[in-house]
Amino acid sequence: MKAFLIILSLVGLCYGQSKLGKYNLESAVSVSGLSSGSYMANQFHVAQSKRIIGAGLFAGGPYYCAKGSMMTATTTCMSSPLSINVDSLRTQTQSYANQLLIDPVSNLANSRVFIFSGTRDTTVVPGVVKKQEDYYASYISSGGALKTVYDIAAVHGMPTDFYGGACGSTNLEYINNCGYNGAFEALNHIYGGTLQVSWVFIICNI
């Protein structure tokens, strides 16, 4: 049984941070994120697929969705799934790989990916998140390695089983008590076993 330490930065920027030290980390590294953090985690996973074994993605869309446009990022990539052409995103991904700008897409075949979208999310709508699923589906070799959860009545936020606002109501923390431990479920899927999870909350003032 492995123990994983999850650090959540609940509010923006931290002051007085210490210099990051050197740590003896295991080679099995994954990335996770919510909303724009989900997009970031997805981008990092695809670009660095040689060293990232999987991703836990909450309320985000597919790689290169915005295509460098802030307008697209804040419209199409949040609420207009019919305008997202996944085939073109895969073509661009392969082009980047051919130019050696990102790792070979063949590395994604053995990835384990967890995707979550709440049924009541109106910020990044479930249809956009399902485009992320479509994107990964063509790369991941085993169906069991791609897990999706679309049946929880959650709004835009991180689902937990013990903390946060009401599952169906938006709050400023974007953490919702849905009776579902999203962080655990994501990591449990990515690492393929029973995990013991410790939570550390870091609250920072802007």
Could you give the domains of the chain? 29-154 (3.40.50.1820)
Q: Which of 30, 35, 38, 49 is catalytic?
A: 35
Asked whether residue 14 carries a pLDDT value surpassing 60, the answer given is no
**Closest by Cα among 24, 47, 88, 58 to 152:** 58
Q: What is the mean pLDDT of residues 185-193?
A: 90
- pLDDT at residue 142, as a whole number: 75
13 vs 121: which has the higher pLDDT:
121
Catalytically annotated residue among 103, 117, 156, 189? 156
Quick one: pLDDT at residue 7?
40
Three-state DSSP at 177 gives strand
**Torsion of Cα atoms, 172 then 177 then 183 then 185, to 10°:** -150
Contact predicate 118/151, CB 8 Å = no
Question: Tell me: the pLDDT tens digits for 57-115?
Answer: 999 999 999 999 999 999 999 999 999 999 999 999 999 999 999 999 999 999 999 99
Mean pLDDT of 113-127: 97
Burial of 190 (0-12, 13-18, 19+ CB in 10 A): buried
Please pick, among 32, 38, 45, 121, the residue that the annotation labels catalytic. 121
Determine the pLDDT at residue 107: 95
Query: Is 156 considered catalytic here?
Result: yes
- Smallest Cα–Cα separation from 30: which of 192, 198, 190? 190
